[in-house]
Amino acid sequence: MQITSKFTVAVHILTCIDIFDGQMRVTSDVLSGSTGINAVIIRNVLGQLRNAGIVETRQGSGGAHLAKPLDEITLYDIYKAVDCVDDEGLFHFHENPNVECPVGRNIHKAMDGRLAAAQSALENELKGTTLAEVVADTRRIIDAE
């Protein structure tokens, strides 16, 4: 089981947009070239990021731009934008425990809070990092090359 690569792709393309915007028109084709991901998938991801208010794109004109400052975009915002987890939550609970069994009809209640806490721990960690930090690290590594 793994969280969809759309998440790391999204971080990648947002980093590209910040670094290359101004130097070139950052089209889905350019981003496809940098990520190695199909341009249609890139446009899908860009669409999700646009819906979340993170980037701006326009039909025809070409070139994506950030919609808000880097330090106001957390990894959690991106994770949510690309739908890493659905409403069911991170953990998949087996769906038909037997209600005739005292354990079967109560195990859900006994576990839910703890599963939610684990998911929150993950998400809070993502909330604690902004794109600004990722881009800064990336620039630092590039400069050191």
Applying CB under 7 A, the residues found at the interface with DNA are 1, 4-6, 25, 27-29, 37-41, 43-44, 46-47, 50, 57-64, 92
Q: How far apart are CB 8 and a copy of itself at their closest, in Å? A: 5
Q: What's the CA gap between 41 and 32, in Å, rounded?
A: 9
With CB under 5 to 8 Å by kind, the binding choice for 59 among DNA, a copy of itself, none is DNA
Pick one of DNA, a copy of itself, none as the site partner of residue 24 (Cβ within 5 to 8 A by kind). none
Q: Which does 23 bind (CB under 5 to 8 A by kind): a copy of itself, DNA, none?
A: none
Distance linking the first and last C-alpha atoms of the chain = 34
CB of 27 to DNA, least distance (A): 4
- Binds 46, which of DNA, a copy of itself, none (CB < 5 to 8 A, cut-off by type)? DNA
Q: Which is nearer to a copy of itself, 60 or 137 (CB)?
A: 137
- Closest alpha carbon to 88 in 110, 108, 106, 73: 108
**What DSSP character marks residue 89?**
-
- Least separation in angstroms between residue 145's CB and a copy of itself is 8
**C-alpha distance from residue 131 to each of 29, 59, 76, 141 (Å):** 22, 25, 10, 15
Supply the minimum distance, in Å, between the C-beta of residue 76 and DNA. Answer: 17
DSSP 57-72: --TTT---EESS-GGG
Asked if residue 12 lies in contact with residue 78, where contact means CB atoms within 8 angstroms, the answer is no
Pairing between β-strand 65-66 and β-strand 55-56 as defined by DSSP bridges: antiparallel
For DNA, the closer CB: 62 or 89 = 62
